[in-house]
Structure 1
Amino acid sequence: MVTPNISTAPPTTDDLRALVQEYWERQFRVGVQDLGLPHTREFTEEVQRLAEVWDWKWTVTCQLCDRSLNQLNLAYLGYHHWQYEPDVGTSLCQFCHDFLHGGDESDQASQQDWRAKKLGLRDFRDLAVIRLALRDREVHDFDIPEDDPAYARRLRTRYNVPLSVDRIVTLVSEVQHDNAVQEVIRDHGSSPTVPDHNIHPV
């Protein structure tokens, strides 16, 4: 018996490789979870080993600055929390993570939260999303305007941002152009230079 609309041909090796690779790339974007806790360090080495065994043309790379662990001289990616209970976040290199938090070395979320509320924003996530968009647009070439909901959906999906598309559009296309917001971003952790992409501080 043949079921309609179901392929009878088995998947090719390339199809299976693409499927597995896509799965692990997604896991790294959102953080590999175990009992609700994100892990990146523990899985980086294993996934790199699997990539070599399975002959993937892929390496663990920060999705925000597009630099590999070798280029960054890091052993693993870090994890940026958008929220803590439950854990929601995205895997980034230490440099991009620090940039999203305004360059604060300790108590990062609290410092960002205080600055955001002082500006009339909701919390640290608002400032982090603005920083995320600035960095994302520096590194990746876009034809999509910053006020286009398609760009907000891209940020939401790629970086696992738990804010609505409308809120992201407002932050990225309006709030970031406020003078006080620009001053906070400039004074607290400007974007690091990425020579590989000819990127200079915001």
Structure 2
Amino acid sequence: MACLQPEQPESTPDTDPYGDRAHVLAVTDNTSILRSTPAVILCPNCGDIVETYEQGLPRIIPQFDTCCTTCQVELRRWCAVAVDAAYRELVEPPVLTAMTQAYWNEWLWAGITNYKGQPRNDEYTDRLSTKASEFGWGWELTCPLCRRGISQLKQEIRDVRDSLDYHHWSTDPDQGITLCRECHDIIGFDSYDNQVEERAHEWGFRSRNDLQIVRLALREAIATDRPVQLEMAADLVNRYNLIQSPGEVKELLKMVLRDSDLYDRFVDDSLYHGLTTC
């Protein structure tokens, strides 16, 4: 799993709606973001300025503990937004809220551990939920694949915890994605990893990851009510923290889509479980 300060995922419209002009503060560490231009730190709820850096952001801000006097909420690196001062009047509080929540989702989905590699997703899920309540937000952790929140999962599935399960794409280096238990099982044919690995070799694939990515793409298409397309490769890599490049995923999907018999091996009724679009 990723460390407490994981490598940041590629920018997406959800996390960076203002491009390079605004980012959640934690994202700016060891980057050139707003280093050479005056910057302000805003509350993601009301949009008020809570801190000003007239010379631009430093290379790293290791500690941030500032209260928004309007919202009466303590802000931290992961719930404050750095904005180019020249664009201060152009940003809107609802967008700041949405980009902060999107960052939280991607942070948790990629998995959070401490420097010893010990999991901290449960701890941070609670921490972010508490902060959301302080802001008056209705945010809760959702499964990135089926899009169901923890509260809905608890109603529909027995023995669901208050967090998601970590699915490894690779153990060295450690990289993966957190999914609800049902989605985790579905993309793996509800089988143990060694069984999926054996199936991959029987079918002529490189590893179990190839099979799981195809299943992931099929379920993603159902969840978003669209067909499986080669153009979704980059989105799959970014959203699900895949170790493959978009080009590799595109070639994998191309091979499966052009062979109807092979395609049929991947499809079963479980792909539709828990999805409201079907």
TM-score, length of structure 2 as denominator length: 0.60
Which of 77, 87, 91 pairs up with 2:164? 77
Question: Once the 2 structures are TM-superposed, how far is the Cα of residue 58 of structure 1 from its aligned partner?
Answer: 1.4
Counterpart residue number, 2:271: 191
Stretches of structure 2 that go unaligned for 5 or more consecutive residues are 1-33, 48-79, 81-95, 155-159
Question: Once the 2 structures are TM-superposed, how far is the Cα of residue 22 of structure 1 from its aligned partner?
Answer: 3.7
- Secondary structure at the aligned position of 1:82 is classed as strand
- Which of 1 and 2 has higher RCO (CA within 8 Å, sep 6+)? 1
Distance 1:114 1:13 in 2: 48
Distance 1:13 1:126, change over 3 A: closer
TM-score, length of structure 1 as denominator length: 0.80
Distance 1:43 1:12, change over 3 A: closer
Structure with the greater alpha carbon radius of gyration: 2
- Give the root-mean-square deviation of aligned CA atoms: 2.7
Residue by residue over 1:130-172, the C-alpha shift from the partner in whole angstroms, topping out at 9 and shown as x without a partner, is 00100111011459x7122xx2111001000000211100122
Identity %: 29
Residue by residue over 1:9-38, the C-alpha shift from the partner in whole angstroms, topping out at 9 and shown as x without a partner, is 553543536364343222112011223455
- Structure 1 or 2: more helix by fraction: 1
- Structure 1 or 2: more strand by fraction: 2
> Residues 14-163 of structure 1: matches in 2 within 5 Å?
14=45, 16=80, 18=97, 20-34=100-114, 35-73=116-154, 74=160, 75-104=162-191, 108-142=192-226, 146-148=229-231, 151-163=232-244
Question: Once the 2 structures are TM-superposed, how far is the Cα of residue 185 of structure 1 from its aligned partner?
Answer: 2.4
- Do the aligned residues in 2 keep the contact of 1:78 with 1:97 (CA within 8 Å)? yes
- Secondary structure at the aligned position of 2:138 is classed as coil
